[in-house]
Structure 1
Amino acid sequence: MSTDPNISPRTGMDIDSFREDIRQHLHYTLAKDKFSSTEWDHYRSVVLAVMDRLHDRWINTQQNYYQHKSKRVYYLSMEYLIGRLMDNMLINLGLQDAAADAIEDLGLDYDKVREAEVDAGLGNGGLGRLAACFLDSMATLGVPGLGYGIRYDYGIFDQAIKDGWQVEKPDLWLQYGYPWSVVRPKKKYPVEFYGETTTHKDENGRTHFSWINTDTVTALAYDTPIPGFRNDVVNNLRLWKATSDKGFDLKSFNQGDYINAVRNNLLEENISRVLYPNDKVFKGQELRLKQEYFLVSASLQDAMNRFKKQFDDLRKIPQQMAVQCNDTHPNLAIPELMRVLMDQEGMKWEPAWDIVTQTVNYTNHTLMPEALEKWPLSLMSELLPRHTQIIREIDRRFLNTLEISGGEGSKQDRMRIISDEKDAMIRMGNLGIIGSQKVNGVSELHSRLMKETIFRDFSDIYDNKFTNVTNGVTPRRWLRQCNRPLADLITDRIGEEWITDLDQLNQVEQFAEDESFQELFSEIKLQNKKALAGYIKKTMDITVDPDAIFDIHIKRIHEYKRQLLALMHAITLYNRLKENPEADIEPRVLLFAGKAAPGYKMAQLYIKLINNVANTINNDPEVGSTLRVLFLQNYSVSLAEKMIPAADLSEQISTAGMEASGTGNMKFALNGALTIGTLDGANIEIREQVGKDNIFIFGHTVNEIQQLRDSGYDPQRFYKSDEELKKVIDQIHGGYFSPDQPDLFHPITNALLNQGDYFMILADYRQYIQKQREVEYNYRSSFDWNRKAIINIANMGYFSSDRAIKNYCKRIWDVEI
């Protein structure tokens, strides 16, 4: 133990204090010893020791915000893909090396302790991972931010592959508890549903509304600390769990009817039971709408409660609160804040509306009309009758302003919140624009297209509302944590300031042609590839060659992300090798990972096709080790942390104009992978930063795609004029990869040949094949390849989430750092 009497073993940052704290927690908190303890117990003991060191900082940070009357940023998101937290917490505390030594001193394996942690089941993919990066950056920059979300009992699902098909299993991430969270039993709020509204007039003739006869669900708070990097700031992620406010129905129980005794409790608690999978096609389901309002209501009650502890004047809300809606899901914050201000605080419409439209902001994440939320007016009216009244009034007043400005009828129909049709829908994107202060896209291209396409009408009258904040990733997790050897090499050459100022990486460019630096970089990349190869051998019993090109496509399985195009390239290489086993083809390992939404049949079929093609190629002796195709099951943040540092080639090949930004592209480049991609999302800005000679760009641009569509795009023309393409399609269609069921993949080939090839796979195929050939030639010159990879790393400064949060603070939140 530390000999300093002023240092408690619960707060000391030295090895001895940390080791003693772990030992005490194992014995006194968990009641375990070396004979009875498991790896989970060891992990929990480490977590408890880390939490001891976070608590003082956590409390002090919140007190500091209160004392300085800091403006708070409330980040509302249905998803937070935070991954494992142990490494992240230790790194940000500056404690990782001391903790590793303390753990080893106790006879434990640091890696085994770390691997005992499960990924939190709180998100689907990019949107949730972005939210997690933003929380890390807010804490690191000292922004008084608080993340609000839902504590789902079950995550999206655990994915297994059986006979090539995806099989979904429950994601039981909470089955042993979650030691990073602290339950707040006294921090709970009622959330109302259903019921009806009544009105009465006061003595001044003013109408007041009451929402009565409601069903009530209680939102219970669970808090997870979010530490900044070595700055003693600890922000908060508050997740709400749905609980019943009804007591146990003793009468039913005494009559032997146990089910009815708990039935209502179970129905109410279902609200936070499971995370909805995202397949980029909006599907209106009542439970999802309940979840969205549950998040918004509890969070705004909590925020208003915090505000009213310090301020009496509601007009100060915009000066003290910035509410950020991460996509359309939390846009009910607009009518909810109006309801609170008018019905509970007694404000009139106009001042309440001024407050709302200066406080709430909306981030758009999609250009696909089919993905924008549209709730049936009938469902909203039943579930949230008072909010429906408010939305109707917002819509009415908005239409009046359009009439005053002389807008034509069709434009009004497109812009109004409630669609003017028999089965009327509430358009949550339109509500978000009309009721918010700022609307931002997440890359330069996306923000421009958002104004030119789906929200073109709004940009004409609200141009000052629209802005751009290109996404970013936190360098703490996506370089310092997941690729420690590369992080140490960079620190050795330029110092460690890059960890909080990623622009410092530009100093690395001076080493792009330095042979000793290249040699070290190349060795690190090889070791990362060997580690991934070892994981593949252990989990799949398949051997891959670490010297081959590691070509990686990891994303949600979706047609617009075009896993199919990458797979068609592998089939093309396979066909060339079959025709000539001595063909001049660079050995390649093509790796896929990602989950398909359970109801997304085409995405499910993609997974089956990938696995069938992999089975054919990997078991063909004529191909040997030259080509391998693999689908790694159950993609997660933790798996990404293994795959990204090992990648040589990053696949970012979405149809131009369909990927809002992407952040995987940034993570790969930051770790020294070269990008093959279309001019889509943030790929465009990556090309601007790294230079066009250090990225492999192919495919039709947004404008060229539109021209193809306008001229009557005929995929058959590409199919018939390209022999290699025709052979690939014919093999898939004819059952070459599914001999037991030759028509299995007909839905895929029909979509390409007979249903318009909406995602332009055939149109981009030849350019993609040619660009992949260029990749091979480049890879053969290790000096040139490493030079390009190092230049990529050196120019990733712009893609830090720290920069993104600074932009939010300046352009949207009006928060000083």
Structure 2
Amino acid sequence: MGAPHVSAPVPLPADDDDDRTSFSKESLKRAFFDHLFYTIGKFPKISGKNDLYLALAHAIRDRSLQRWISSTAQYNQTAPRTVAYLSAEFLMGPHLGNHLINLGIADSVREAMAELKLDFNEILRQEEEPGLGNGGLGRLAACFLDSLATGQIPAFGYGIRYEYGIFFQTIIDGWQVENTDKWLRYGNPWEIQRAEWAVEIKLGGHTEQYTDDAGYLRVRWAPEKTVVGVPFDSPIPGYRVNTTNTLRLWRAEATESFDFSVFNQGDYLGAVSKKVTSENLTKVLYPNDETTQGKELRLEQQYFFVSCSLQDMIRIHLARGGAIGDFDKKFAIQLNDTHPAIAIAELMRLLVDEHLLPWDQAWGITTRSFSYTNHTLLPEALERWPLDLFQRILPRHLELIYEINARFLNDVRIHFLGDESRISRLSLIDESGERYVRMAHLACVGSHAINGVAELHSDLLKHGLLKDFYEMWPEKFTNVTNGVTPRRWLVLSNPRLTSLVTNAIGDAWVTDLPRIRLIEDYIDDAAFRQEWRAVKRANKVDLAALILRRTGVKVDPDSMFDVLVKRIHEYKRQHLAVLHIVTLYHRLKSGRARDPLPRTFIFGGKAAPGYHTAKLMIKLITSVGDVVNNDPDVRDLLKVVFIPNFNVTQGQCIYPAAELSEQISLAGKEASGTGNMKFAMNGALTIGTMDGANIELRDQVGAENFFLFGHTAAEVRHIKTAGYHPGDYYHSHSELRTCLDLIQSGFFSRGDTELFRPLVDNLLRHDPYLLLADYQSYIECQDLVSQAYRDHEGWTRMSILNTARSGKFSSDRSIREYAEQIWNVKPVPVELYDEAEMEHTLR
């Protein structure tokens, strides 16, 4: 990598400001060079682009550290109730840009770099995005951490410091290929290792009973092996406030990394075997669990991070002078889906076995501490573990779960006397066939609050997936609709739109998103609408450049950008969008298209490595694209691109440029969705079903500004109950039949009639997600989209209204609802310590 030109030697800028973390340009330039010299060990002439990024990142982290330390010091003094957000995923995205926005120094840093003749945008692009998540779950967790800090609520994010991200996706001959995501290869300047707060984690072995000094029967866990969890902390700054919270991620290490005696015997691999085995725990997110070894690793991984986190919370609580019996008064623990649900049994173990509390007291503390967010309506996505595997890895926890279950089922018998089938359905142990531990059931029993993430989702939980629990404890259930942070997803990712909105109505909307509705006052201003269109087109030009770089496909910024980016899954129905493309293509080729509208179809998303159907869906998208993009008859009217390795960084370019947001999952399958919110916030119009948060989005923006199609969740249930026959739709709709026949014939697969046969056969014989039933409605709705887009002024008005009415979908609102309804936590404004005060406290 060539070094950018910086004149050398460079004199350090004079700085009249004694504060080494000043936000002045001169202070920023001095800090930049200090870190380049003393942290990176380079001088400008031999510095590469990544060196410059690292130097700037360290300089900005210094400015967060003062706020970070001040926040920690204040929390330690006042011991407020603190949120602990447990999540297997945190898709934070690049840190540097977010820090600059939240600290309010983006313009100063840009100017400082320009004065040094450095390309600020090129420096930003050097950051390796931490791939610590797979999709919406991790992106939601990142938004929530931003809103917690911005709302000045004391909080920790707890998760795993995966050495490698989910995977780096490349597309080779149209197929997804998974490559190692080496996000740590150049180090991570945002984290600080806290080796002094490492904890030991037990795994395997057996349990032993003993009698304590007071004569009580106790249980001791004798593990087969022990690993060490080492915390790595990253600062999470709030927007224009002093509050800076902590993301604490755990890395697994061996208790002894090197066995000297084994080495001396000549067994060089054996000398480091414990280190290798232990570190496998945190190597990669979601190891393939199709094998027994994969299942073991995944369960060990989940237990590892929750045990580390709970031990850490107890350490903090006791260090602040708290009594163990008051733990629940000081920590509100949120389970982000079922992955961390083993935390309920682990807290019981710590309280009963380690701190010797009576069962009933420990159970009261546990249930008052935990709350559970469910993120799925797919029964197969609710984790469960074979009993023998659970026994082998967590023998003490299985005993505790048996005891929890016995007590719980006694309560069930009292509530529902004689209803044995209900007892079987509610049990924490699935007794049908191979016996399993049901983790969602453990989460429901051990939490004082259970919430869904959209109104429809919460309703379906109460009357479907978790109906028995709802009838047992209706008071536990509530809804908190998801949200996204406008700082990253509008201010940072769409600076042009941010400037237009702020110039019109001021900047209060950044932390009070409902105020963005004030731009409705400008909807009749022709100049404002023209500026709005200019912003969108400039963003489209940027995305077109990204597409050209990543795919080699040249797209027209004046065509409609029709976008579907999310995890690849059958229920999200990316292949329904492909059927629309094939329909348009056939209309153009057969001369039946009248006044065709130029469209660019943009796809992105990853398929799980073991999910062959999802991978075949990617192959279908790329194969259709190869034919369409290279057909001279249509390539100026239709383009199809699949952007590989969709992530937060790419999302920041894609959402601002999108004009049509595809939210086309089968009604009743998507819990909420957050991409739909990001698109609308950036002025895209939605075509979607009555699913997840689409319903609330449509309510907010107005039915006339939303393109609705497809069956409702109730209609879907009726169709399936009555007996669904997808072949009937194939035979009765000629365009649908033509599309499927074209795909089946090998037209898009170089004559290979077998390649897409599994997809087509599944649709014709089973079609579990009702693509064929929704096809005609979708095509007709897309025709309405084309008609609406031709009216540039009308489309612009709808675009403005989508942004203006997106206020509900800020994660700030979500966090306020959690804080008030579930966590019972309050904001704690942080006073900033200066360096003199810090020195005084040390003395």
TM class by shorter chain equals: over 0.9
SS in 2 for 1:258: coil
- Residue 56 of structure 1 is aligned with which of 66, 76, 79? 66
> Is the aligned partner of 1:462 residue 2:477?
no
| 1:697 aligned residue | 708
Question: For the residues of structure 2 that align with 1:215 and 1:287, how far apart are their CA atoms?
Answer: 14
Query: C-alpha offsets along residues 290-335 of structure 1, whole Å, 9 cap, x if unaligned?
Result: 1100011000000000011123433322211101110001111111
Deviates more, 1:395-404 or 1:140-149: 395-404
> Is the aligned partner of 1:746 residue 2:757?
yes
- 1:19/1:105 contact within 8 Å kept: no
| 1:476 aligned residue | 487
| 2:7 aligned residue | none
| 2:837 aligned residue | none
Q: Cα–Cα, structure 1 residues 534 and 458, in superposed 2: closer, same or farther, change >3 Å? A: same
- Shift in Å, 1:454: 0.9
SS in 1 for 2:241: coil
SS in 2 for 1:239: strand
Gap runs ≥5 in structure 1? none
For residues 310-709 of structure 1, what are the structure 2 equivalents within 5 Å?
A: 310-405=320-415, 406-580=417-591, 583-709=594-720
Deviates more, 1:692-701 or 1:17-26: 17-26
SS in 2 for 1:453: helix
- Residue 157 of structure 2 is aligned with which of 147, 155, 158? 147
- Shift in Å, 1:48: 0.8
- Counterpart amino acid of 1:352? A
Note the aligned Cα RMSD (angstroms): 1.6
Question: Normalising by the residue count of structure 2, what TM-score does the alignment of the two structures yield?
Answer: 0.95
- 1:279/1:600 contact within 8 Å kept: no
- 1:502/1:800 contact within 8 Å kept: yes
Question: For the residues of structure 1 that align with 2:531 and 2:614, how far apart are their CA atoms?
Answer: 40
- Residue 312 of structure 2 is aligned with which of 296, 302, 321? 302
> Is the aligned partner of 1:92 residue 2:97?
no
SS in 1 for 2:210: strand
For residues 700-739 of structure 1, what are the structure 2 equivalents within 5 Å?
A: 700-739=711-750
SS in 1 for 2:196: strand
- Counterpart amino acid of 2:495? R
- Shift in Å, 1:5: 4.7
- Counterpart amino acid of 2:445? I
Question: For the residues of structure 1 that align with 2:673 and 2:50, how far apart are their CA atoms?
Answer: 34
- Counterpart amino acid of 1:508? I
Q: Report runs of 4+ in structure 1 exceeding 3 Å deviation.
A: 1-6, 202-205, 277-284
- 1:75/1:146 contact within 8 Å kept: yes
Q: Cα–Cα, structure 1 residues 38 and 253, in superposed 2: closer, same or farther, change >3 Å? A: same
- 2:348/2:363 contact within 8 Å kept: yes
Question: For the residues of structure 1 that align with 2:689 and 2:292, how far apart are their CA atoms?
Answer: 25
| 2:32 aligned residue | 22
- 1:281/1:371 contact within 8 Å kept: no
- 1:342/1:349 contact within 8 Å kept: yes
- Counterpart amino acid of 1:749? V
> Is the aligned partner of 1:7 residue 2:18?
yes
- Residue 798 of structure 2 is aligned with which of 756, 774, 788? 788
- 2:544/2:557 contact within 8 Å kept: yes
SS in 2 for 1:173: coil
| 1:250 aligned residue | 260
Gap runs ≥5 in structure 2? 1-11, 828-843
For residues 261-276 of structure 1, what are the structure 2 equivalents within 5 Å?
A: 261-276=271-286
Question: For the residues of structure 2 that align with 1:361 and 1:416, how far apart are their CA atoms?
Answer: 19
- Counterpart amino acid of 1:107? K
- Counterpart amino acid of 1:463? P
Question: For the residues of structure 2 that align with 1:694 and 1:465, how far apart are their CA atoms?
Answer: 35
| 2:170 aligned residue | 160
- Shift in Å, 1:202: 3.8
Query: C-alpha offsets along residues 509-553 of structure 1, whole Å, 9 cap, x if unaligned?
Result: 111222111000000000000111112222322211111110000
Question: For the residues of structure 2 that align with 1:281 and 1:246, how far apart are their CA atoms?
Answer: 28
Question: For the residues of structure 2 that align with 1:726 and 1:70, how far apart are their CA atoms?
Answer: 63
- Shift in Å, 1:575: 0.2
Question: For the residues of structure 2 that align with 1:566 and 1:420, how far apart are their CA atoms?
Answer: 41
Q: Identity percentage over the alignment? A: 47
- Residue 84 of structure 2 is aligned with which of 62, 67, 74? 74
Question: For the residues of structure 2 that align with 1:376 and 1:581, how far apart are their CA atoms?
Answer: 56
SS in 1 for 2:561: strand
- 1:587/1:626 contact within 8 Å kept: yes
Q: Cα–Cα, structure 1 residues 13 and 484, in superposed 2: closer, same or farther, change >3 Å? A: same
| 2:245 aligned residue | 235
Q: Cα–Cα, structure 1 residues 537 and 284, in superposed 2: closer, same or farther, change >3 Å? A: closer
- Shift in Å, 1:622: 1.1
Question: For the residues of structure 1 that align with 2:243 and 2:170, how far apart are their CA atoms?
Answer: 39
Q: Cα–Cα, structure 1 residues 163 and 170, in superposed 2: closer, same or farther, change >3 Å? A: same
How many residue pairs end up in the alignment? 815
Question: For the residues of structure 1 that align with 2:293 and 2:283, how far apart are their CA atoms?
Answer: 18
- Shift in Å, 1:69: 1.6
- 2:337/2:374 contact within 8 Å kept: yes
- Shift in Å, 1:582: 6.2
For residues 37-56 of structure 1, what are the structure 2 equivalents within 5 Å?
A: 37-56=47-66
Deviates more, 1:419-428 or 1:795-804: 419-428
Q: Cα–Cα, structure 1 residues 451 and 581, in superposed 2: closer, same or farther, change >3 Å? A: closer
Question: For the residues of structure 2 that align with 1:581 and 1:715, how far apart are their CA atoms?
Answer: 26
| 2:44 aligned residue | 34
